[in-house]
Amino acid sequence: MTRAQHTISIALLLSSFYLAMFLEIVPLPKAVQEDIVPVLPFWALVSFGSYLLFKLGWGVFTFNDVPNAHKELMEQIKEARVDLKAKGVDVGED
């Protein structure tokens, strides 16, 4: 089973379970049926958004500086300046 098939099957399972609760096929206490079930999709959307924001923030927080990549990039910039100067382009110096 591919990842897409797995994701689709889980989404269909969860949506069918929610639909069964929303249409009162699954017996639930009245307070749960009236207060919690109607807002479950919004709660799931907010929770998923919060999770994605956390992952983004964590990725920015744990971003590692890579000195070797910086050196390699500076060498490539020098090579590009030399190449452009050889072709007659004024690139300026920093």
> d(Cα 32, Cα 35) in Å, to the nearest integer?
5
Please give the average per-residue pLDDT across 24-53, as a whole number. 94
Domain that holds residue 34: 3-86
User: 92 in a domain, yes or no?
Assistant: no
User: 76 in a domain, yes or no?
Assistant: yes
> d(Cα 20, Cα 35) in Å, to the nearest integer?
16
User: 27 in a domain, yes or no?
Assistant: yes
User: 14 in a domain, yes or no?
Assistant: yes
pTM metric for this prediction: 0.57
> Is residue 91 predicted with pLDDT exceeding 60?
yes
What does the pLDDT look like over 55-64, one tens digit per residue?
Answer: 999 888 877 6
> d(Cα 56, Cα 52) in Å, to the nearest integer?
6
| Domains: count for the chain | 1
As a whole-number percent, the residues of the chain with pLDDT over 70 amount to 96
Supply 23's token pair.
Answer: 């249409």
